[in-house]
Amino acid sequence: MKTIEEINEKIRRGDVCVVTAEEVKEMISELGPEGVVKEVDVVTTGTFGAMCSTGAVFNFGHADPPIKFKKVWLNGVEAYAGLAAVDAFLGATKPSETREFYGGSHVIEELVSGKEVELKALGYGTDCYPRKEIETSVSLEDINQAEMINPRNAYQRYRAATNSSDRLLRTYMGTLLPNYGNVTFAGTGEISPLNNDPEYRTIGIGTRIFLCGAKGYVIGEGTQHSPPFGTLMVKGNLKEMKPEFLKACYFPGYAPSIYVGIGIPIPVLDGEIAKALAVRDSEIKTTIIDFGVARRVRPVVREVSYAELKSGKVEINGEDVRVSPLSSFYVAEKIMRELKRMIERGEFLLTAPVERLKREEVFRPMKQKEIKVVKDVMVKAVTIGEDASVEDAARLLIEKNVNHLPVVDGEGVLRGIVTSWDIAKAVFRKSNRVRDIMTREVVTVYPEDPIAIAVSKLEKHDISALPVIDGKRKVLGIVTSEALSKLLGR
Amino acid sequence: MLFLLRFDSKTVREPIISRAAIETGALINILRADVGARKGELIVEVPDERAEGVLEVFRRMGVEVQEITKSIARNENCVHCGACISICPTEVFHFNGEKRIELRAERCIHCGACIKACPTMALYFPL
């Protein structure tokens, strides 16, 4: 049993033993947890990934005559000015109004690299702040405070992404190729801070951390904190940050974002803490979810461990699918080593948390007016086999009084669709088999899709019905434009 | 060797690849094709030892030929995340022992898929 004060005393004396989260795994299997408590004082953990909930608060000092910002832009990126006169919060994912592939993250990166940025603001023109506009350029040296304040960083683990649809998707999880073409994942697994302190015993409010090269602090649980998907709210001085530990990025079709480097030292106070530090990627589980379904609750494709994800290939429906990380292990390791050096040189002392983070899982969805989904409006589909005759198809259309016949195989899996128009074509061309006249490229929906998605598909493809299918393409029903217009009253 | 072939409204209608293959016996691999009614662009891979003969046929038939020597490259924006790895159809990108991304540029078929997938916009085709 050690205390943080004892460890800090060793740091000041220069005889502290620090190892990285990567190194400590081996040591624990050799020496056991108690052995590691004896040998090691601090373990450094690290992560470097795109963290959208990132931004910075600035105070620019007062102009003469003074202005109260009504709106303010930095390099054409709007910052939030609903604060005191010359305070503003710039969010990393805010896109520029004038430049493509540029946003708040790029402004932050340029400032940290020592560059000047253009400040443009409009004022209200009040008795106390008469000025109505200003244009100037500023660098970090010129402004009073530039504090990075991130509502949600350092996700403990994150759901991996894939795409079952037949369309390439551009998402915040990167480019997702059609038909389960790839998998992407975020987080650094066994070296990530919160995975090495899953009970949040040493990482809590007030914990001093490495934030993009500066000394920062945990200021609370992050937004959407929901163990074991824990998150942190952090802050740190932009003026002390180093460009190599922060990088602006841009996800096409989504928004700008920013790679944030976070390192957290874990004091090895007792055997329990040491035991937690032994965690391996194979024990850190998450799920792969399907971004092909545009819903809040996306279907889980399968469970997966970080070890499988890091191996570069995972199996989906019997096939090997290639995996891309979105976090950088190379920079995460650099951060762990840099933090280790800072502690060894006596430049970084540890702090005990003043309050612990919540350990129970809570994550509420947005309160919303009831939304209707396809399941609520679909009707039973009248289907036909591929080998049926055109005459059978015509009879079915008339007897059942429908306009669309999804064509299915013996398992009920969708193969095509036949409409009354196809029958007319068959008569003209003298075809006899359904398989010869059916349309093979069928536009479909899932039962959980909101009806807004069904409507947009009908409009986009200028068609009048959509077969409703499950993940294995089995036909569950059909949704027609008549049913939808009745529901929407148009 | 990789070649970019440009077909105009006349040559786009001719079976030029087949002709070059039959005349020279070379196995020509089409890596990318964008063929329209009035023009077309192909990227083809030709075995080095047969390249001269194949080129002769292309030129004789009036196809504009350009050798592709510079494949995908990267700048200092790379953070070594690996977003490109699963996007590339020919596995140009992989991690080395230091967990840095390494390029096997000779495998590149110029599809350009990685360029838009790179979050830090570190990938490009050199001019």
pLDDT, tens digit, 9 for 90 and up, residues A159-209: 999 999 989 999 999 999 999 999 999 999 999 999 999 999 999 999 999
Cα–Cα distance for residue pair A121/A105, rounded to 1 Å: 19
End residue of a domain, out of B29, B46, B68:
B68
Do the Cβ atoms of A367 and B119 come closer than 8 Å?
A: no
Q: Is the pLDDT of residue A489 over 70?
A: no
Q: Which tops the pLDDT comparison, B66 or A10?
A: A10
| Mean pLDDT calculated for residue range A34-40 | 96
Residues of A in contact with B85 (CB under 8 A): 312, 322-325
Residues B88, B47: one domain? no
| Mean pLDDT calculated for residue range B101-123 | 92
Residues B113, B76: one domain? yes
Residues B77, B29: one domain? no
Q: What is the pLDDT of residue A191?
A: 98
Q: What is the pLDDT of residue A350?
A: 98
Answer yes or no: do A259 and B120 touch at CB < 8 A. Answer: yes
Q: What percent of chain B has pLDDT over 90?
A: 76
End residue of a domain, out of B68, B85, B102:
B68
Q: Is the pLDDT of residue A53 over 90?
A: yes
Residues of B in contact with A329 (CB under 8 A): 80, 95, 99
Residues of B in contact with A49 (CB under 8 A): 81
Predicted structure pTM score = 0.80
Residues of A in contact with B99 (CB under 8 A): 329-330, 333
Of the pLDDT bands very low, low, confident and very high (cuts 50, 70, 90), residue A368 is: confident
What are the CA-CA distances from residue A471 to residues A444, A447, A468 (Å)?
Answer: 11, 10, 10
Residues B87, B46: one domain? no
Answer yes or no: do B79 and A175 touch at CB < 8 A. Answer: no
Which chain A residue's Cα is nearest to B98?
A330
| Mean pLDDT calculated for residue range A52-70 | 97
Cα–Cα distance for residue pair A309/A186, rounded to 1 Å: 10
Q: Is the peptide bond before A228 cis (omega within 30 degrees of 0)?
A: yes
> Long-range contact list for A72-76, CB < 8 A, 24+ apart?
A72/A119, A72/A120, A72/A121, A72/A122, A73/A97, A73/A118, A73/A119, A73/A120, A73/A121, A74/A104, A74/A107, A74/A117, A74/A118, A74/A119, A75/A99, A75/A102, A75/A106, A75/A107, A75/A110, A75/A117, A75/A118, A76/A102, A76/A118, A76/A120
Q: Is the pLDDT of residue B31 over 90?
A: no
Q: What is the pLDDT of residue A361?
A: 76
What are the CA-CA distances from residue B32 to residues A166, A322, A460 (Å)?
Answer: 20, 22, 29
Residues B58, B21: one domain? yes
Q: What percent of chain A has pLDDT over 90?
A: 85
> Which stretches within A191-300 are classed as H helix?
271-276
Residues B34, B60: one domain? yes
Helix (H) or strand (E) holding A138: strand A133-138
Answer yes or no: do A174 and B83 touch at CB < 8 A. Answer: yes
Residues B50, B30: one domain? yes
Q: Is the peptide bond before A65 cis (omega within 30 degrees of 0)?
A: yes
Q: What is the pLDDT of residue A460?
A: 86
Mutant choice from B74, B77, B81 vs A, greatest count of A C-beta within 10 A: B81
Which chain A residue's Cα is nearest to B81?
A328
**Domains of chain A listed by start with CATH number:** 4-52+149-344 (no CATH), 61-143 (no CATH), 374-488 (3.10.580.10)
What is the separation of C-alpha A425 from the centre of its chain, rounded to a whole number of angstroms? 48
Mean pLDDT over each residue of chain B, to the nearest integer:
92
Reported ipTM: the value is: 0.77
Residues of A in contact with B116 (CB under 8 A): 170, 175, 252
Q: Is the pLDDT of residue A277 over 80?
A: yes
Residues B45, B86: one domain? no
Mean pLDDT over each residue of chain A, to the nearest integer:
94
Answer yes or no: do B120 and A248 touch at CB < 8 A. Answer: yes
pLDDT, tens digit, 9 for 90 and up, residues A75-95: 999 999 999 999 999 999 999
Residues of A in contact with B117 (CB under 8 A): 174-175
Answer yes or no: do A183 and B86 touch at CB < 8 A. Answer: yes
Residues of A at the B interface (Cβ-Cβ below 8 Å)?
Answer: 48-50, 101, 170, 174-175, 177, 181-184, 247-252, 257, 259, 312, 321-331, 333
Of the pLDDT bands very low, low, confident and very high (cuts 50, 70, 90), residue A362 is: confident
Among A216-230, A360-374, A453-467, top mean pLDDT goes to A216-230
Of the pLDDT bands very low, low, confident and very high (cuts 50, 70, 90), residue A490 is: low
- Single out the catalytic residue among A17, A52, A128, A212: A128
Structural domains counted in chain B? 2
Which chain B residue's Cα is nearest to A172?
B119
Residue A212 annotated to the active site: no
Residues B64, B75: one domain? no
* Range of weakest confidence among A230-239, A309-318, A346-355, A419-428: A419-428
| Mean pLDDT calculated for residue range A38-55 | 98
- How far A16 CA sits from the closest chain B CA (Å)? 27
| Mean pLDDT calculated for residue range A31-44 | 96
Cα–Cα distance for residue pair A251/A258, rounded to 1 Å: 10
Residues B125, B86: one domain? yes
Residues B124, B82: one domain? yes
Q: What percent of chain A has pLDDT over 70?
A: 100
Do the Cβ atoms of B123 and B84 come closer than 8 Å?
A: yes
Q: What is the pLDDT of residue A373?
A: 87
Q: What is the pLDDT of residue A471?
A: 83
Q: What is the pLDDT of residue A298?
A: 86
> Which stretches within A173-325 are classed as H helix?
271-276, 306-311
| Mean pLDDT calculated for residue range A146-163 | 97
Residues B51, B95: one domain? no
Answer yes or no: do A324 and B120 touch at CB < 8 A. Answer: no
Do the Cβ atoms of A67 and A86 come closer than 8 Å?
A: yes
| Mean pLDDT calculated for residue range A53-80 | 98
Which chain A residue's Cα is nearest to B78?
A247
Of the pLDDT bands very low, low, confident and very high (cuts 50, 70, 90), residue A72 is: very high
End residue of a domain, out of B32, B50, B68:
B68
Of the pLDDT bands very low, low, confident and very high (cuts 50, 70, 90), residue A319 is: very high
Residues spanned by the domain of B94: 71-127
| Mean pLDDT calculated for residue range A146-164 | 97
CATH of the domain at B92: 3.30.70.20
CATH of the domain at B35: 3.30.70.260
Residues near A214 by Cβ (< 8 Å), separated by ≥ 6? A148, A236, A237, A238, A239, A240, A241, A242
